[in-house]
Structure 1
Amino acid sequence: MASITFKGNPVTLLGSEVKVGDKAPNFTVLANDLSPVTLDSSKGQVRLISVVPSIDTGVCDAQTRRFNEAASSLDNVQILTVSVDLPFAQKRWCGAAGIDKVQTLSDHRDLSFGEAYGVAIQELRLLARAVFVIDSNDTVTYVEYVSEATDHPNYEAAIEAAKAAN
Protein backbone atom coordinates (compact mmCIF):
# COMPACT_ATOMS: atom_id res chain seq x y z
CA MET A 1 0.00 0.00 0.00
CA ALA A 2 1.02 3.57 -0.58
CA SER A 3 2.42 5.32 2.50
CA ILE A 4 0.42 8.50 3.05
CA THR A 5 0.57 11.22 5.66
CA PHE A 6 -1.97 13.92 6.47
CA LYS A 7 -0.37 17.06 7.92
CA GLY A 8 2.71 14.95 8.68
CA ASN A 9 0.85 12.18 10.52
CA PRO A 10 0.70 8.67 9.03
CA VAL A 11 -2.80 7.49 8.09
CA THR A 12 -4.32 4.11 7.29
CA LEU A 13 -5.72 3.66 3.78
CA LEU A 14 -8.61 1.25 3.28
CA GLY A 15 -8.95 -0.84 0.16
CA SER A 16 -6.49 -2.02 -2.44
CA GLU A 17 -3.76 0.00 -4.10
CA VAL A 18 -4.34 0.42 -7.84
CA LYS A 19 -1.36 0.04 -10.19
CA VAL A 20 -0.65 0.92 -13.81
CA GLY A 21 -1.85 -1.94 -16.01
CA ASP A 22 -4.68 -2.96 -13.67
CA LYS A 23 -8.25 -3.14 -14.90
CA ALA A 24 -9.90 -0.10 -13.32
CA PRO A 25 -12.12 -1.11 -10.40
CA ASN A 26 -15.78 -0.19 -10.63
CA PHE A 27 -17.36 2.16 -8.08
CA THR A 28 -20.60 3.99 -7.36
CA VAL A 29 -20.52 7.66 -6.35
CA LEU A 30 -23.13 10.43 -6.48
CA ALA A 31 -23.41 13.27 -8.98
CA ASN A 32 -24.48 16.72 -7.79
CA ASP A 33 -28.13 15.79 -8.50
CA LEU A 34 -27.78 12.64 -6.32
CA SER A 35 -27.87 10.29 -9.33
CA PRO A 36 -25.46 7.34 -9.17
CA VAL A 37 -22.32 7.45 -11.31
CA THR A 38 -20.17 4.39 -11.97
CA LEU A 39 -17.04 3.72 -14.00
CA ASP A 40 -19.33 2.42 -16.75
CA SER A 41 -21.07 5.83 -16.89
CA SER A 42 -18.09 7.05 -18.91
CA LYS A 43 -17.30 3.79 -20.70
CA GLY A 44 -15.34 4.22 -23.92
CA GLN A 45 -13.75 7.50 -22.82
CA VAL A 46 -10.41 8.34 -21.27
CA ARG A 47 -10.94 9.43 -17.67
CA LEU A 48 -8.68 11.55 -15.51
CA ILE A 49 -9.85 11.05 -11.93
CA SER A 50 -8.66 13.71 -9.53
CA VAL A 51 -9.15 12.70 -5.88
CA VAL A 52 -9.23 15.37 -3.19
CA PRO A 53 -9.83 15.28 0.59
CA SER A 54 -12.27 18.25 0.57
CA ILE A 55 -13.16 20.63 -2.25
CA ASP A 56 -13.38 23.56 0.22
CA THR A 57 -9.67 23.60 1.09
CA GLY A 58 -6.84 25.50 -0.60
CA VAL A 59 -4.94 22.70 -2.33
CA CYS A 60 -8.12 20.85 -3.34
CA ASP A 61 -9.56 24.07 -4.74
CA ALA A 62 -6.35 24.72 -6.72
CA GLN A 63 -6.20 21.11 -7.95
CA THR A 64 -9.78 21.17 -9.23
CA ARG A 65 -9.27 24.56 -10.89
CA ARG A 66 -6.03 23.36 -12.55
CA PHE A 67 -7.69 20.30 -14.08
CA ASN A 68 -10.70 22.41 -15.13
CA GLU A 69 -8.28 24.70 -17.02
CA ALA A 70 -6.51 21.72 -18.58
CA ALA A 71 -9.79 20.26 -19.84
CA SER A 72 -9.84 22.54 -22.89
CA SER A 73 -6.57 20.99 -24.11
CA LEU A 74 -7.69 17.41 -23.50
CA ASP A 75 -9.79 16.01 -26.35
CA ASN A 76 -11.99 13.03 -25.52
CA VAL A 77 -10.99 13.06 -21.85
CA GLN A 78 -13.56 13.23 -19.08
CA ILE A 79 -12.22 14.79 -15.88
CA LEU A 80 -13.82 13.63 -12.65
CA THR A 81 -13.07 15.06 -9.21
CA VAL A 82 -14.00 12.73 -6.35
CA SER A 83 -14.26 13.71 -2.67
CA VAL A 84 -16.44 12.83 0.31
CA ASP A 85 -18.00 16.30 0.31
CA LEU A 86 -21.78 16.24 0.05
CA PRO A 87 -23.09 16.65 -3.52
CA PHE A 88 -24.83 19.91 -2.51
CA ALA A 89 -21.55 21.40 -1.27
CA GLN A 90 -19.77 20.31 -4.46
CA LYS A 91 -22.48 21.92 -6.61
CA ARG A 92 -22.34 25.15 -4.60
CA TRP A 93 -18.53 25.25 -4.79
CA CYS A 94 -18.50 24.62 -8.57
CA GLY A 95 -21.03 27.41 -9.13
CA ALA A 96 -19.05 29.86 -7.00
CA ALA A 97 -15.72 28.86 -8.59
CA GLY A 98 -16.97 28.78 -12.19
CA ILE A 99 -16.00 25.13 -12.63
CA ASP A 100 -17.73 23.87 -15.76
CA LYS A 101 -15.48 21.25 -17.38
CA VAL A 102 -14.86 18.94 -14.41
CA GLN A 103 -17.58 16.72 -12.99
CA THR A 104 -17.51 16.62 -9.19
CA LEU A 105 -18.64 13.37 -7.60
CA SER A 106 -19.34 12.50 -3.97
CA ASP A 107 -18.13 9.32 -2.27
CA HIS A 108 -19.74 10.29 1.05
CA ARG A 109 -22.37 7.53 1.09
CA ASP A 110 -20.29 4.37 1.33
CA LEU A 111 -16.69 5.16 0.28
CA SER A 112 -17.14 2.91 -2.76
CA PHE A 113 -14.52 4.77 -4.79
CA GLY A 114 -12.19 5.28 -1.82
CA GLU A 115 -12.05 1.59 -0.97
CA ALA A 116 -11.90 0.42 -4.62
CA TYR A 117 -8.91 2.70 -5.31
CA GLY A 118 -7.21 2.45 -1.90
CA VAL A 119 -7.61 6.14 -0.98
CA ALA A 120 -10.12 6.03 1.92
CA ILE A 121 -8.42 7.40 5.05
CA GLN A 122 -9.70 5.31 7.94
CA GLU A 123 -8.93 7.83 10.69
CA LEU A 124 -10.57 10.84 8.99
CA ARG A 125 -13.23 9.39 6.65
CA LEU A 126 -11.71 11.52 3.90
CA LEU A 127 -10.01 10.51 0.67
CA ALA A 128 -6.25 10.76 0.22
CA ARG A 129 -5.07 13.00 -2.62
CA ALA A 130 -4.44 10.98 -5.78
CA VAL A 131 -4.77 11.08 -9.58
CA PHE A 132 -5.68 8.18 -11.84
CA VAL A 133 -5.87 8.00 -15.63
CA ILE A 134 -8.00 5.25 -17.12
CA ASP A 135 -8.03 4.61 -20.85
CA SER A 136 -11.10 3.92 -22.99
CA ASN A 137 -10.63 0.17 -22.41
CA ASP A 138 -10.80 0.63 -18.61
CA THR A 139 -7.08 0.01 -18.10
CA VAL A 140 -5.28 2.16 -15.54
CA THR A 141 -2.46 3.99 -17.37
CA TYR A 142 -1.33 6.46 -14.69
CA VAL A 143 -1.39 6.46 -10.88
CA GLU A 144 -0.17 9.02 -8.37
CA TYR A 145 -0.84 8.61 -4.67
CA VAL A 146 0.39 11.93 -3.25
CA SER A 147 2.51 10.98 -0.24
CA GLU A 148 1.48 14.02 1.84
CA ALA A 149 -2.25 14.68 1.48
CA THR A 150 -1.76 18.45 1.78
CA ASP A 151 0.70 18.58 -1.17
CA HIS A 152 -0.17 19.13 -4.84
CA PRO A 153 -0.07 16.25 -7.35
CA ASN A 154 2.13 16.32 -10.44
CA TYR A 155 -0.33 18.11 -12.73
CA GLU A 156 1.86 18.00 -15.83
CA ALA A 157 2.51 14.26 -15.59
CA ALA A 158 -1.21 13.52 -15.14
CA ILE A 159 -2.23 15.75 -18.05
CA GLU A 160 0.42 14.18 -20.31
CA ALA A 161 -0.76 10.70 -19.27
CA ALA A 162 -4.33 11.62 -20.17
CA LYS A 163 -3.21 12.88 -23.60
CA ALA A 164 -1.18 9.70 -24.17
CA ALA A 165 -4.13 7.47 -23.20
CA ASN A 166 -6.20 8.77 -26.11
Structure 2
Amino acid sequence: MVQITFKNNPVTLPGNEVKVGDQAPNFTVLGNDLSPVELKDTAGKVRLISVVPSLDTGVCSDQTKRFSEEAASLGENVEVLTISADLPFAQKRWTEINGVDSITTLSDHRDLDFGQAYGTSMKELRLLARSIFVIDENDKVAYVEYVAEGTDHPDYDKALEAVKTLTN
Protein backbone atom coordinates (compact mmCIF):
# COMPACT_ATOMS: atom_id res chain seq x y z
CA MET A 1 0.00 0.00 0.00
CA VAL A 2 1.26 3.44 -0.94
CA GLN A 3 1.89 5.76 2.02
CA ILE A 4 1.66 9.49 1.52
CA THR A 5 0.99 12.62 3.52
CA PHE A 6 -1.14 15.65 2.78
CA LYS A 7 -0.02 18.83 4.52
CA ASN A 8 2.34 16.53 6.47
CA ASN A 9 -0.54 14.42 7.84
CA PRO A 10 -0.72 10.73 6.88
CA VAL A 11 -3.70 9.79 4.71
CA THR A 12 -5.25 6.43 3.86
CA LEU A 13 -5.33 5.39 0.20
CA PRO A 14 -7.79 2.50 -0.13
CA GLY A 15 -7.93 0.76 -3.46
CA ASN A 16 -5.27 -0.78 -5.64
CA GLU A 17 -1.69 0.41 -5.96
CA VAL A 18 -0.80 0.48 -9.63
CA LYS A 19 2.74 -0.51 -10.63
CA VAL A 20 4.83 -0.33 -13.77
CA GLY A 21 4.08 -3.36 -15.93
CA ASP A 22 0.49 -3.75 -14.69
CA GLN A 23 -2.42 -3.83 -17.07
CA ALA A 24 -4.02 -0.40 -16.59
CA PRO A 25 -7.35 -0.73 -14.82
CA ASN A 26 -10.35 0.68 -16.64
CA PHE A 27 -12.31 3.38 -14.84
CA THR A 28 -15.32 5.60 -15.34
CA VAL A 29 -15.16 9.34 -14.64
CA LEU A 30 -17.19 12.29 -15.88
CA GLY A 31 -16.38 14.67 -18.68
CA ASN A 32 -17.11 18.37 -18.24
CA ASP A 33 -20.48 17.78 -19.94
CA LEU A 34 -21.33 15.03 -17.38
CA SER A 35 -20.86 12.26 -19.95
CA PRO A 36 -19.13 9.08 -18.74
CA VAL A 37 -15.52 8.69 -19.88
CA GLU A 38 -13.49 5.49 -19.58
CA LEU A 39 -9.85 4.63 -20.13
CA LYS A 40 -10.89 2.48 -23.08
CA ASP A 41 -12.19 5.64 -24.81
CA THR A 42 -8.55 6.56 -25.49
CA ALA A 43 -7.46 3.06 -26.54
CA GLY A 44 -4.54 2.91 -28.95
CA LYS A 45 -2.94 6.10 -27.63
CA VAL A 46 -0.28 6.79 -25.04
CA ARG A 47 -1.98 8.36 -22.01
CA LEU A 48 -0.40 10.68 -19.49
CA ILE A 49 -2.79 10.81 -16.54
CA SER A 50 -2.10 13.71 -14.21
CA VAL A 51 -4.00 13.36 -10.94
CA VAL A 52 -4.55 16.39 -8.71
CA PRO A 53 -6.50 17.01 -5.48
CA SER A 54 -8.18 20.22 -6.75
CA LEU A 55 -7.59 22.47 -9.76
CA ASP A 56 -8.35 25.51 -7.60
CA THR A 57 -5.11 25.22 -5.63
CA GLY A 58 -1.68 26.52 -6.56
CA VAL A 59 0.31 23.33 -7.10
CA CYS A 60 -2.60 21.58 -8.86
CA SER A 61 -3.14 24.56 -11.13
CA ASP A 62 0.59 24.73 -11.92
CA GLN A 63 0.75 20.99 -12.60
CA THR A 64 -2.20 21.11 -14.97
CA LYS A 65 -0.87 24.17 -16.81
CA ARG A 66 2.58 22.55 -17.15
CA PHE A 67 1.20 19.40 -18.76
CA SER A 68 -1.09 21.50 -20.93
CA GLU A 69 1.90 23.49 -22.19
CA GLU A 70 3.79 20.26 -22.94
CA ALA A 71 0.85 18.45 -24.58
CA ALA A 72 1.27 19.93 -28.07
CA SER A 73 4.90 18.80 -28.29
CA LEU A 74 4.03 15.20 -27.34
CA GLY A 75 2.35 14.38 -30.65
CA GLU A 76 -1.06 13.34 -31.85
CA ASN A 77 -0.77 9.81 -30.44
CA VAL A 78 -0.63 11.14 -26.85
CA GLU A 79 -3.67 11.99 -24.76
CA VAL A 80 -3.13 14.09 -21.62
CA LEU A 81 -5.84 13.65 -19.01
CA THR A 82 -6.11 15.52 -15.72
CA ILE A 83 -8.32 13.82 -13.16
CA SER A 84 -9.52 15.34 -9.90
CA ALA A 85 -12.51 15.01 -7.59
CA ASP A 86 -13.58 18.55 -8.50
CA LEU A 87 -17.08 18.93 -9.92
CA PRO A 88 -17.15 18.88 -13.73
CA PHE A 89 -18.56 22.43 -13.72
CA ALA A 90 -15.62 23.70 -11.66
CA GLN A 91 -13.17 21.97 -14.00
CA LYS A 92 -14.81 23.54 -17.04
CA ARG A 93 -14.71 26.99 -15.42
CA TRP A 94 -11.04 26.52 -14.47
CA THR A 95 -10.03 25.47 -18.01
CA GLU A 96 -11.89 28.43 -19.54
CA ILE A 97 -10.40 30.98 -17.12
CA ASN A 98 -6.89 29.58 -17.61
CA GLY A 99 -7.13 29.07 -21.38
CA VAL A 100 -6.30 25.38 -21.09
CA ASP A 101 -7.57 23.50 -24.12
CA SER A 102 -4.86 21.01 -25.06
CA ILE A 103 -5.70 18.48 -22.33
CA THR A 104 -8.88 16.86 -21.07
CA THR A 105 -10.06 17.44 -17.50
CA LEU A 106 -12.14 14.67 -15.97
CA SER A 107 -14.04 14.44 -12.69
CA ASP A 108 -13.94 11.49 -10.30
CA HIS A 109 -16.36 13.25 -7.96
CA ARG A 110 -19.37 10.99 -8.46
CA ASP A 111 -17.99 7.52 -7.64
CA LEU A 112 -14.25 7.89 -6.97
CA ASP A 113 -13.95 4.99 -9.43
CA PHE A 114 -10.57 6.14 -10.71
CA GLY A 115 -9.35 6.72 -7.15
CA GLN A 116 -10.27 3.18 -6.14
CA ALA A 117 -8.87 1.57 -9.29
CA TYR A 118 -5.54 3.44 -9.06
CA GLY A 119 -5.20 3.76 -5.26
CA THR A 120 -5.34 7.56 -5.24
CA SER A 121 -8.49 8.25 -3.23
CA MET A 122 -7.61 9.95 0.07
CA LYS A 123 -10.19 8.46 2.45
CA GLU A 124 -9.98 11.27 5.01
CA LEU A 125 -10.44 14.08 2.47
CA ARG A 126 -12.50 12.57 -0.41
CA LEU A 127 -9.91 14.01 -2.78
CA LEU A 128 -7.45 12.30 -5.09
CA ALA A 129 -3.78 12.07 -4.17
CA ARG A 130 -1.32 13.81 -6.48
CA SER A 131 0.08 11.21 -8.84
CA ILE A 132 1.12 10.57 -12.44
CA PHE A 133 0.47 7.51 -14.59
CA VAL A 134 1.77 6.91 -18.11
CA ILE A 135 -0.05 4.16 -19.97
CA ASP A 136 1.08 2.82 -23.34
CA GLU A 137 -1.10 2.22 -26.38
CA ASN A 138 -1.64 -1.40 -25.26
CA ASP A 139 -2.92 -0.33 -21.82
CA LYS A 140 0.26 -1.33 -19.96
CA VAL A 141 1.43 0.97 -17.19
CA ALA A 142 4.82 2.40 -18.17
CA TYR A 143 5.37 4.99 -15.43
CA VAL A 144 3.92 5.65 -11.96
CA GLU A 145 4.54 8.37 -9.41
CA TYR A 146 2.57 8.69 -6.19
CA VAL A 147 3.85 12.01 -4.83
CA ALA A 148 4.94 11.38 -1.22
CA GLU A 149 3.69 14.74 0.09
CA GLY A 150 0.44 15.79 -1.54
CA THR A 151 1.33 19.47 -1.62
CA ASP A 152 4.61 18.89 -3.54
CA HIS A 153 5.04 18.93 -7.31
CA PRO A 154 5.48 15.66 -9.20
CA ASP A 155 8.62 14.94 -11.23
CA TYR A 156 7.45 16.48 -14.51
CA ASP A 157 10.63 15.61 -16.40
CA LYS A 158 10.49 11.88 -15.57
CA ALA A 159 6.82 11.66 -16.55
CA LEU A 160 7.42 13.45 -19.83
CA GLU A 161 10.47 11.30 -20.55
CA ALA A 162 8.34 8.18 -20.04
CA VAL A 163 5.85 9.50 -22.62
CA LYS A 164 8.62 10.37 -25.10
CA THR A 165 10.20 6.91 -24.69
CA LEU A 166 6.89 5.34 -25.73
CA THR A 167 6.40 7.61 -28.74
CA ASN A 168 9.91 7.48 -30.25
Q: TM-score range by the shorter chain?
A: over 0.9
SS in 1 for 2:21: coil
Aligned partners of 1:14 and 1:124: how far apart in 2? 12
Shift of 1:74: 0.2
- Partners of 2:41 and 2:22 lie apart in 1 by 19
CA–CA separation in structure 2 for the residues paired with 1:77 and 1:4: 29
Q: Which residue of 1 aligns with 2:7?
A: 7
Q: Distance in 2 between matches of 1:72 and 1:40?
A: 22
Deviating 4+ runs (over 3 angstroms): none
Equivalent pairs, count: 166
Distance 1:16 1:92 in 2: 31
Residue number in structure 1 paired with 2:73: 73
Let me know the Cα RMSD of the aligned residues: 0.5
Once the 2 structures are TM-superposed, how far is the Cα of residue 72 of structure 1 from its aligned partner? Answer: 1.4
Q: Which residue of 2 aligns with 1:31?
A: 31
User: Percent of counterpart pairs with the same letter?
Assistant: 67
Aligned partner of 2:94 in structure 1 is 93
SS, match of residue 165 in structure 1: helix
Question: What is the distance in 1 between the residues matched to 2:137 and 2:65?
Answer: 24
Equivalent residues in 2 for 1:91-130 (5 A)? 91-130=92-131
Deviation at 1:73, TM superposition (A): 1.1
2:17 is the counterpart of 1:56: no
* Gap runs ≥5 in structure 2: none
- 1:3, CA displacement in angstroms? 1.1
TM-score with structure 1 setting the length? 0.99
Distance of 1:94 and 1:14 partners within structure 2: 29
Measured in 1, the distance between the counterparts of 2:21 and 2:14 equals 21
Offset of residue 77 of structure 1: 0.7
In the alignment, the residues of structure 1 paired with residue 166 and residue 135 of structure 2 have an alpha-carbon distance, to the nearest angstrom, of 8
Q: What are structure 1's unaligned runs of at least 5 residues?
A: none
Corresponding residue SS for 2:152:
coil
CA contact (8 A) 1:134 1:165 kept: no
Q: Distance in 2 between matches of 1:139 and 1:54?
A: 27
Aligned to 2:149: 148
Question: What is residue 82 of structure 1 aligned with on the other side?
Answer: 83
| 1:65-86 Cα distance to aligned partner (Å, 9 max, x none) | 0000001110111000000000
The aligned amino acid for 2:28 is T
